[in-house]
Amino acid sequence: MSIMWSQPAIFNVLDPWYEISPGVFVGMVPGQGSPVGQFAVQNRQALQAIINLAQASNDQSGPYYGALIVFPGHSGPATQGGTGEDAGGEYLIQAPGDGTAAIPITINWPLRFLGTGNAKLTYFIPPDDPDFLPGDMFSVETSGTGEGTNIGGMTFEDLLFHYPAITTSDTIPIPQWAAIHTVLAGVENFRIVRCTFADCPIAVWFEQALDCSILQCFINYSANAGFGLILGNGQNMGDTNSAKQIFVTDYDAARYAQWKKRLTRLKVSGCVTCGKKYPPRLRHLLDFDHSPDLVKRFGAKRFNIANGAMRSNRAVALELRKCRLRCRSCHQGVTRARRKRQAKKAA
């Protein structure tokens, strides 16, 4: 198969880049599959092939344009005039099962991973394999074979990283698996921008890194306990085993302030159950109650309206249609009643 590169090279993960059998090329496949995890191994192999091709798109002579790897965030092809009600593009990825990373990356040239819309990368653990040893989702190191060790770095942008529920307790510690882990030779100019980390044992581990940034990211734990950020390896904080010059920012302050004002305006009508209204300074006591019959766009406990500053206006507007405004007391009462009804049905 003859491949022509653009400059910089652009790779859509849905396109057929990986030769799964002689003459048969496939790409990554979004969705759970049937059975669940059907495409998890293929997704790992396809993504690894794409990364290898992306690195090969730059040669030793330069110039070093780098490459862009795009993860479409839709569960199906876009349609004209669509409603936007889409479960998103979830890509299950299954590691080899020997404790190594699902996707090991050796950076030769600049790489940028970009999600479009609602792209989610889920670490898949096969439920029927007791010998399966999980590990990192992405491990990254610098080879130094490009333009020295600082060759434009690497960026993860607008992606959601997710791990399934993992058993921990006082005697079972949180496993040392990271969604993104910089290891071995130090990584330079590494950026993580507007990403969400859901239930990852470790969201980001900069074991050896220099001049790295985490910008406007969200880390959420609902099914697991874990660590948001680990720096260094805890053994030797010398030149070769440390993380240096790490820059971390929260939400954009101006955007978050603007969002708080918008939330206050949205709550002017008061509680739909008891009718109570609040002055602007007390409207934080009103909650957006999701209808139990409608699925949250970003999954259960993933979409918090109060943190909507991190979402697009369209995504927030679609989610608000599924909500009723209630005061805390009425919200709790309605939730208890729902749970009782669910318990009766289950019985």
> Which pLDDT tens digit goes with each residue over 61-90?
555 567 899 998 875 555 555 555 555 688
Quick: pLDDT tens for 129-175. Answer: 999 999 999 998 876 554 444 456 789 999 999 999 888 777 788 89
CB atoms within 10 A of CB 32: 16
pTM, to two decimals: 0.69
What is the edge-to-edge ordering of all strands in the sheet holding 196-198?
89-93, 119-123, 160-162, 196-198, 218-220
Of 267, 252, 246, nearest to 311 by C-alpha is: 252
Percentage above 90 pLDDT, the chain? 32
pLDDT at residue number 299: 44
Q: List, in sequence order, the alpha helices (H) in 192-236.
A: none
What confidence score (pLDDT) does residue 67 get?
86
Share of the chain above pLDDT 70, in %: 76
Least confident of 16-25, 126-135, 288-297: 288-297
- The answer to whether residue 106 scores a pLDDT higher than 80 is yes
d(CA 302, CA 88): 13
CA nearest 150: which of 202, 210, 193?
210
Minimum mean pLDDT range among 12-16, 157-161, 233-237: 233-237
Specify the pLDDT at position 257.
73
Place 302 in a pLDDT band, splitting at 50, 70 and 90: very low
Sorted by sequence, the CB contacts under 8 Å of residue 201 that are 6+ apart come out as: 163, 166, 174, 175, 176, 177, 178, 224, 226, 227
Of 161, 188, 179, 191, nearest in space to 71 by CA: 161
> pLDDT by residue (tens digit) across 89-102?
889 999 999 999 99
What is the C-alpha separation between 304 and 309, in angstroms, rounded?
Answer: 10
pLDDT band of 271, cuts 50, 70, 90: very high
Q: What is the DSSP letter of 186?
A: P
Give me the mean pLDDT over the 10-32 stretch: 91
Please name the residues in contact with 155: beta carbons below 8 A apart, sequence gap of 6 or more: 111, 112, 113, 114, 190, 191, 192, 193
Identify the CA nearest to 186 among candidates 210, 156, 205, 212. 210
For residue 72, the number of C-alpha atoms closer than 13 Å in the C-beta half-sphere is 16
pLDDT tens profile 208-225: 777 888 988 888 888 888
Q: What pLDDT score does 61 carry?
A: 55
Nearest residue to 176 via CA among 206, 140, 134: 134
Whether pLDDT at 178 is above 80: yes
Most confident by average pLDDT, 15-19, 104-108, 116-120, 288-292: 15-19
pLDDT attached to residue 48: 95
Which helix (DSSP H) or strand (DSSP E) does residue 327 occupy? strand 323-327
* 1, pLDDT greater than 90: no
User: What pLDDT is recorded for position 110?
Assistant: 82
Half-sphere exposure at residue 317, Cβ-oriented, CA atoms within 13 angstroms: 5
Mean pLDDT (the chain) is 80
Cβ neighbours, 10 Å, residue 219? 19
| Residue 97 confidence (pLDDT) | 94
Between CA 105 and CA 131 the distance in angstroms is 25
What are the residues whose beta carbons fall under 8 Å from the beta carbon of 199, sequence distance 6 or more? 162, 163, 164, 165, 166, 220, 221, 222, 223, 224, 226
The alpha carbon of 179 is separated from its chain's Cα centroid by a whole number of angstroms, namely 9
**187: Cα within 13 Å, side-chain hemisphere:** 30
